[in-house]
Chain A
Amino acid sequence: MIVEIKKLAQGISVTRKSTDLFTRYVGRLLFQKIIEKLQHIAPHEVVIIDFDGIRAVDASFVDECLVPLVKLSQTNETPFYGKLINISDNVEYIVGQVISMEKEHERYIVITDRLCKNGCHALGRLSEIEKDIIEYFVINRQATSDDIASFLHLSGDEANTVCSNLHKARAIRKIDDSYVFYCV
């Protein structure tokens, strides 16, 4: 499913003609609109959030719209995978900052279609190994934890744990109980 943020924002009076998404108020309204669209997704579907036409966001908007969306994707009811595309430098920066901030036991990762300034196609609190794994998936599209173990010289258990954690954060896909992980 593709969610065109600009189109949804045109349905909100204050952002109808705007290239910017700001305030908690707008974040809440847009989140509701996205939720309405998500009613029709299949389990494990990739939801592409298209930021084409959006230049800037603020932290309040991200906190009210994208953070709850990522939280929702991590639930087990209808798991899905979010991917941001066509993001500006500003969107990358603000989203990266907000979702990287310490949140005790919660951890959020967002996959993007571009190589971000952290050297990875993902934003969030990521270790160097996790970044390497995500980049491996970007290139190879799919892999087992054994592939990752041999690529990064890790033990099978270590590789499986890291991949499972990345899957839990919805940074890589896994369908049913298969041993294969897929790129988002």
Chain B
Amino acid sequence: MSTVSLPDQCKDPFSFETILSLYQTILATKIAKLDMANITFIEPYSLLCLLLMGRSYLRLTGERLMLHRVPPHIMQYATRMDFFKYNIFTVDESLHKDTGLKRSASSSRLLEIIEIPGKEKESVKVIAKVIATFRKRAIVILKNWFTLTTIDHLVTVISEICQNIFEHSLDSGFVVIQSYTYMNERIFRIAIVDSGIGVPGSFEHSPMVLSLSNAKLLEAVLTTPLSSKRRYGYGLCQVNSIMEQLKGSIFLRSENAYISVLHHKRAAKGSYIFLKDDCPTFPGTQFSITLVG
């Protein structure tokens, strides 16, 4: 059984691109084992994308990827995030009793990985559950950003992005929310991902956007009321303007492109938009919404 060693690049959405670049090789050469020994830290977006990689592999090959030599603290974290609940990976060493979770499994500082179904009615129920749980835990998760209006706005963000999964992706997806500290920086992150047809696929039949590169298309959906289904699409525009108000950042990836929008805390410095085409191809749409402070 061939193995690929994953580099220690699970610290943010940008660094995870290195691991996504291995995806096509893993598929093409049917590598069945991922060596996790080098991973020292994994954040929520990377964890969800790893889950998507495993799911896509399972769907295309019928085999489950094996996680090999998972460091105990990564194993603890993944277990606590319900990473193994979806039965997508196998692990060659299970979590030893002595290294098990010392913290409560129902920690309030995060919202464990939840699957968003691809059908409207079921999805609405799950989104309601996600929002209700987020509201309950928000006082702890958003300890450093807590205001009622911030929570209300983030509820809108979660709902808008999760809806896009069943409306546009033609697939199911996952959501996870967590606040954590990394390198003395407090980070709040919502990750919402799917492996469906992606933004370019959703706009395949829209002549007005055919001339745009994928990264430009991602910019267009975030900044203009563009929709592949209706005359107007407000959702992602709202997400962007809410994040501008909250001075947060958005990382949106789809197929082979990404856009990163950083709204600076000082109004005078405005917003930075960074576009990138020709990234490693990975199916679907992946969002990371971040507050730092």
- Asked if A23 is at the interface (CB within 8 A of a chain B CB), the reply is yes
Q: Are A89 and B152 in contact (CB under 8 A)?
A: yes
Contact residues in A for B232 (Cβ distance below 8 Å): 63, 101, 103
Which of B124, B132, B232 has the most A CB atoms < 10 Å from its CB?
Answer: B124
- Asked if B160 is at the interface (CB within 8 A of a chain A CB), the reply is yes
Contact residues in A for B125 (Cβ distance below 8 Å): 14
- Asked if B13 is at the interface (CB within 8 A of a chain A CB), the reply is no
Describe B's contact surface by its main secondary structure. Answer: helix
A94 to B156, CA, bound (A): 9
Within 8 A of B (CB), among A1-34: 14-15, 17-20, 22-26
Contact residues in A for B245 (Cβ distance below 8 Å): 93
- Asked if A75 is at the interface (CB within 8 A of a chain B CB), the reply is no
Q: Are A23 and B159 in contact (CB under 8 A)?
A: yes
Q: Are A89 and B127 in contact (CB under 8 A)?
A: no
Q: Are A14 and B234 in contact (CB under 8 A)?
A: no
- Asked if A172 is at the interface (CB within 8 A of a chain B CB), the reply is no
Segment touching B, from A52-60, A121-129, A143-151, A161-169: A52-60
* Contact partner, A56, options B152, B163, B234, Cβ 8 Å: B152
Q: Type the 1/0 row for B242-275, where 1 means its CB is closer than 8 Å to any CB of A.
A: 1001000000000000000000000000000000
* Contact-residue size bin, chain A (C-beta under 8 Å from the other chain): 20 to 34
Q: How far is the CB of B114 from chain A (nearest CB, A)?
A: 15
A102 to B237, CA, bound (A): 13
Q: Which of chain A's residues has its CB closest to B225's CB?
A: A101
Q: Type the 1/0 row for A56-98, where 1 means its CB is closer than 8 Å to any CB of B.
A: 1111101100000000000000000000000011100110011
- Asked if B135 is at the interface (CB within 8 A of a chain A CB), the reply is yes
Q: How far is the CB of A91 from chain B (nearest CB, A)?
A: 8
- Asked if B12 is at the interface (CB within 8 A of a chain A CB), the reply is no
A93 to B157, CA, bound (A): 13
* Contact partner, A17, options B132, B152, B163, Cβ 8 Å: B132
Q: How far is the CB of B147 from chain A (nearest CB, A)?
A: 10
Q: Are B153 and A58 in contact (CB under 8 A)?
A: no
Contact residues in A for B156 (Cβ distance below 8 Å): 22, 56-59, 90, 94
A97 to B225, CA, bound (A): 11
Contact residues in A for B241 (Cβ distance below 8 Å): 97
Binding site for A on B (CB under 8 A): 120-121, 124-125, 127-128, 131-132, 135, 148-149, 151-153, 155-156, 159-160, 163, 167, 225, 232, 234-235, 237-238, 241-242, 245
Q: List 12 A-B contacts (CB under 8 A).
A: A14-B124, A14-B125, A19-B135, A20-B131, A55-B151, A56-B155, A56-B156, A56-B159, A59-B160, A88-B148, A90-B156, A93-B245
Binding site for B on A (CB under 8 A): 14-15, 17-20, 22-26, 55-60, 62-63, 88-90, 93-94, 97-98, 101-103
